[in-house]
Structure 1
């Protein structure tokens, strides 16, 4: 048995030596694919506890590594494991930002939301492939703050079962408090003058905080922990038991990919329905708004038509379902923005309304 283990270890070392350059890329792809597959719910307790453990471990490794560098911790065990501290810290940061990319991507609705997802992706990739530049304590502290801030943005609403701008503000303040606490502890252990030591971190962290607030109020940060699972335009929506029956007009075979009516052919007596399914964490109560807008070709502006809403109760895997409808439709281009009560856009449905003289258009139904 020992011989088998020894031979296996030798083969693995040989394999690693031959393909050492490819391993970081392969591990990065495998890790990201694993997170995309396993991280299904942003409110799952086990996932959030793992992320919280990653944050604690990353912070602890930053502290240990800095104290070891200044020879403030002395023990044979640290001498043995010191060469691996940076790799371990890289692993935990990689796990955090990989998870954040998955969660924030699922909530990203508009092109501008992707800018924040891209920012998280840049942090993830830089953590994996420019490790040497991340050895500076300042960079590690900034990474820790961003990881903590990105976590609290969705974790606080999950814990308190409600949405609020104050939770976002509190997320940044809590993250800054914990981060500066760690900086203060390190300065107390390694620096003779705390004020200049602390000052060099306060300004950059303050800039990050203000920048995140700017992105939030510009609707660039995706509206986590909510995410839009489905939205569409239909001729009728009716609830039958636990399902919703959606009616839409028949499409040519080559438009198999269309799951709702666009263009929407209507007669004078028809109503148009917007159906949406929004995922929210378990027991979270809020309202979802459908903002109907019509494009005025003369002014070349979108004009508000209706702002309708319905209440949701979080917990359903495929999203809490609801709908609004509109009478007296006008021909032309329409869009319906799906928003939360913080006025953050979860998604958008666009369609063209075409007045139809026929009243016998063929329809079919789907269930959700």
Structure 2
């Protein structure tokens, strides 16, 4: 009996085994989209804003500085004065709503919800613009290290306002800057309106600043109690006012709205009605910020002339003092005699005036131009040398 047939699996021939399998082009898998690629442009912008929120706030503050530096003209410009009072009003309103949002749980209505997201930046822009104006006006009116003091002060305010530690304290630091802005504004608005500078005007500026901050104190006290109002409003606002008063009575605050345009020491000052001022000196200093002789070569019969131009706002009529000091080897700077002079808003280039001195001795001298309340508008230091020669002198004459 034959055995059953067994079927075996087919085997590939040698020719088939030598052939390469057919290749099929397969596209690589698409890379997964990153998180940033899934976001829209507006969403990516929001991510960047969140990541660099502090830098964004600084840029808004700097934008206020740049904007006002271009727009500023005269300190008595009516449009600028109105603009600044509007900025102060808006800054005070936003600051008050910020306190209400943090302390009373207030939320803006639906129509204002989106603009409210930019309230902090608006506040930075307003205060940056105001601080820029005050910096420029103080710098123009300052003499010597006083200008540097105020630039450092404002720089510190800007830096402190951006520190995370102070961000946790809420708008308390902004409250201090707002207090400073109020006093600075009223500090030159009142002299511009009255046409002179007196002590009572700065005291009135401080009083008006405190009066403007009183509603903020009232509402914070109503929302959170007196202790919170003292901490958030009274301490920063009052501390700044106390600091400003101390600076004022130490004559460290520049005498805005006055500003020294030029000052120089000359051998002769001549003027004819309706004509230019003719200023005679022996040798120009060669420095753009110095006018007249830096070394006064005095012969018998010479008089020292100190010529100044002082900017004053429109309608301004007041008096200034030129105080002469001589450096004593033992006692230091010794005042010899003050000379009273009148100033007004006569010329756009600044009101021209001068004082003379016929009694003097060799050595180093300093002439300070001061306001009625004792603040320095500008000063000039020069060296007086006895000239015993008799050769003819050739004077350089310039228009003053």
TM-score range, shorter chain: 0.7 to 0.9
Native 8 Å contact 1:289 1:310 kept in 2: yes
Secondary structure of 1:306's counterpart equals strand
Residues 90 and 131 (structure 1 numbering): CA distance in 2 closer, same or farther, change over 3 Å?
A: farther
**Equivalent of 1:176 in 192, 210, 217:** 210
The structure-2 alpha-carbon separation of the partners of 1:140 and 1:64, relative to structure 1 and needing over 3 Å to count, comes to same
Q: How far does residue 148 in structure 1 lie from its aligned partner after superposition? A: 0.7
Task: Tell me which residue corresponds to 2:28.
Answer: none
Once residues 129 and 164 of structure 2 are traced to their aligned partners in structure 1, the CA distance between those partners, rounded to angstroms, is: 15
Residue-by-residue CA offset, 1:5-25 (whole Å, 9 max, x unaligned): xxxxx79x98x969x968766
Aligned to 1:52: 85
| C-alpha contact (below 8 Å) 2:283/2:292 kept by paired residues | no
TM-superposed CA distance for 1:288, in Å, is 1.6
Q: CA contact under 8 A between 1:334 and 1:351: conserved in structure 2?
A: yes
The 3 A distance-change label for structure 1 pair 187 and 30 is closer
The number of residue pairs the alignment matches comes to 351
Change (3 A) 1:359 1:284: farther
TM-score, normalised to structure 2, is 0.79
Q: For residues 265 and 34 of structure 1, what CA distance do their matches in structure 2 show?
A: 47
Residue matched to 1:324: 355
Structure 2 residue ranges without an equivalent (≥5): 1-40
How far off is 1:358 after superposition?
Answer: 2.8
Q: Of residues 336, 339, 350 in structure 1, which corresponds to 2:381?
A: 350
Counterpart secondary structure, 1:305: strand
Q: Secondary structure at the match of 1:348?
A: strand
Write the distance in 2 (CA, Å) between the matches of 1:228 and 1:234: 17
Aligned counterparts of 2:87 and 2:138: Cα–Cα separation in 1? 18
Once the 2 structures are TM-superposed, how far is the Cα of residue 173 of structure 1 from its aligned partner? 1.4
Q: Which runs of 5+ in 1 are unaligned?
A: 1-9
The change in CA–CA distance for 1:317 and 1:126 in structure 2 (over 3 A counts) is farther
Alpha carbons 1:335, 1:349 under 8 Å: kept: yes
Shift of 1:314: 2.4
Give the structure 2 partner of residue 308 of structure 1.
339
Shift of residue 133, structure 1, vs aligned partner: 3.7
TM-score normalised over the length of structure 1: 0.85
| 2:186 aligned residue (152, 155, 159) | 152
* 2:112 alignment partner, SS class: helix
Q: Residue 6 of structure 2 aligns with which residue? A: none
d(CA) in 2 for partners of 1:30 and 1:62? Answer: 19
Matches within 5 A, 1:1-368: 31-69=64-102, 70-72=104-106, 75-127=109-161, 129-130=162-163, 133-134=166-167, 136-188=170-222, 190-191=223-224, 193=225, 195-200=226-231, 201-240=233-272, 241-251=274-284, 258-297=290-329, 299-314=330-345, 316-356=347-387, 357-358=389-390, 360-368=392-400
Tell me the SS of whatever aligns to 1:171.
Answer: helix
Deviations 1:165-196 (A, max 9, x none): 111111111111210222203433x23x4x33
Distance in 2, matches of 1:172 and 1:162, equals 17
Secondary structure in structure 1 of the residue aligned to 2:117: helix
Q: Deviations over 1:169-226 (max 9, x none)?
A: 11111111210222203433x23x4x33443343443333222111111111111111
